Structure 1
Amino acid sequence: MQILLFILLLVMLPSASAATVTNITNSPNTVAPLLPGLDAPKLTLKNSQGKSVELAQLYKNKTTLVVVYRGGWCPYCVRQLNGIQKIEAQLTKLDVQIVAISPDSPKELAKSTIESPNYMLLSDDQLAYSQALGLAYYLDDKTATAYRNKLGVNFVDLNGKDRVALPVPAVFVIDKEGLIQFQYANPNYKVRLDEQVLLAAAKAASAL
């Protein structure tokens, strides 16, 4: 009877804290982001209201600027998102939509002050999209200890050891066919792409 109860508890326990590990490296310097010309991942993520959003359909609507960031707790990411807002009007004229994706939960995304019909925040709290893009990496033990409580998101590796993972910050410009036309990723999370360079890349992709 006790064994049966134990099995039932295992089945009923939520698994939201454990990501399915398919492509997480041990260092930000060893990630291998998808290159221009390849298909962008067509997964389903959730928005700040917890509603499912199919990326395949989203890509078809407009040229898409995808910003992958570490989370709303990261000051460098917040600065980047605010900087992109400065060119939002120009991107809108080019018929380019902005989709910012992070490991933050939908609940955390709902705290964001970014409000715009052309600027969508999506949750990749299982890091599935970041893994598909080739951006996910495990934090070293020292950094993980410092970040764990701040993030509130844990991931489990193939050996069952509890570890913390993040995406390398990156930007992608994806056309209506779902093809990556531009990519920039930097293992140094403090370095972000200049907004004017990003605007030029978006303009080139939207002209195709």
Structure 2
Amino acid sequence: MTLQDELNAYKAKPAHPNMRPEFGAIFGRTISGLIASGQAERALKAGDLAPPFELPDEDGTLVSSTALLERGPLVLSFYRGVWCPFCNIEMKALQAALGEIEARGATLVAISQQTLANNRKSRRDNDLHFPVLSDKGGDVGAAFGIRWVIPDEMREVHRQLGGPMPAFNGEESWTLPMPARYVVGQDGVIAYAEINPDYTKRPEPSDLFPVLDHLRERAAT
């Protein structure tokens, strides 16, 4: 089963017990509005220079993108948080692909705006063996062009469903990153970018492999 098949299967499951009929329309308007905004098209793409960052991992240890790139290409997965089942399904799929990613000389890290404690929960609940970095306030997401502001009507849905962003993220901005996956070459240039305003759609982890193979072949010449 592909990652998208798993996401579609989850989407077809019975709704959250607190889901109200009008919430579906709000979800739809939020996704449609984000797509219509064109923000995904304005985000950093392949060929752009990736902004360097230094972020704490789930234990508070600072992780530098510059240091990671000295070892090989960097795979970045921006995700919304442990409260998002679609994100957790994707994290598990990336974990399943971790061996293939590392065999190609790359390092995988996930980036979320949530607190360190919630990033530890992400690692524990999804049995992840790659770092989960905390981008509190979303400054790194903003540098990549993928941070967006949750509209007021969607904020109320989050409250009703038990997931208010200030509680998960430890700050009051009510912002999130669009789900996004990047490959950054050792020269700091983005070699692959996939940004999804619709959080129910994610690229397959295997899409990374040809990109990483190309980077490895280029480095060997």
What TM-score, normalized to structure 1? 0.77
Please, which of 166, 179, 186 is the counterpart of residue 176 of structure 2?
A: 166
1:28 paired with 2:34, answer: yes
Where is the helix percentage greater, Structure 1 or Structure 2?
Answer: 2
Aligned to 2:95: 85
- Residue type of the partner of 1:28? L
In the TM superposition, residue 115 of structure 1 has moved relative to its aligned partner by 4.0
Shift >6 Å, 4+ stretches:
none
Tell me whether 1:125 sits opposite 2:131 in the alignment: no
Q: Is 2:191 aligned against 1:181?
A: yes
Q: Which residue of 1 aligns with 2:84?
A: 74
CA root-mean-square deviation:
1.8
CA contact (8 A) 1:60 1:177 kept: no
Q: Which has the higher strand share?
A: 1
Write out aligned runs for 1:87-166 (5 A): 87-111=97-121, 112-113=123-124, 114-116=127-129, 119-147=130-158, 150=163, 151=165, 152=167, 153=169, 163-166=173-176
How many Å separate the matches in 2 of 1:53 and 1:141? 34
Distance 2:210 2:54 in 1: 28
Unaligned runs of at least 5 residues, structure 1: 1-26, 156-161
Aligned to 1:20: none
Mapped partners of 2:47, 2:209: distance in 1? 19
> What is the count of residue pairs matched by the alignment?
174
State how far apart, in whole Å, the 1-side matches of 2:184 and 2:49 are: 9
Shift of 1:163: 4.7
Distance 2:111 2:44 in 1: 16
Larger radius of gyration: 1
Percentage of identical aligned residues: 23
Judged with a 3 Å threshold, the aligned counterparts in structure 2 of structure 1 residues 205 and 96 are, in CA distance, closer, same or farther, namely same
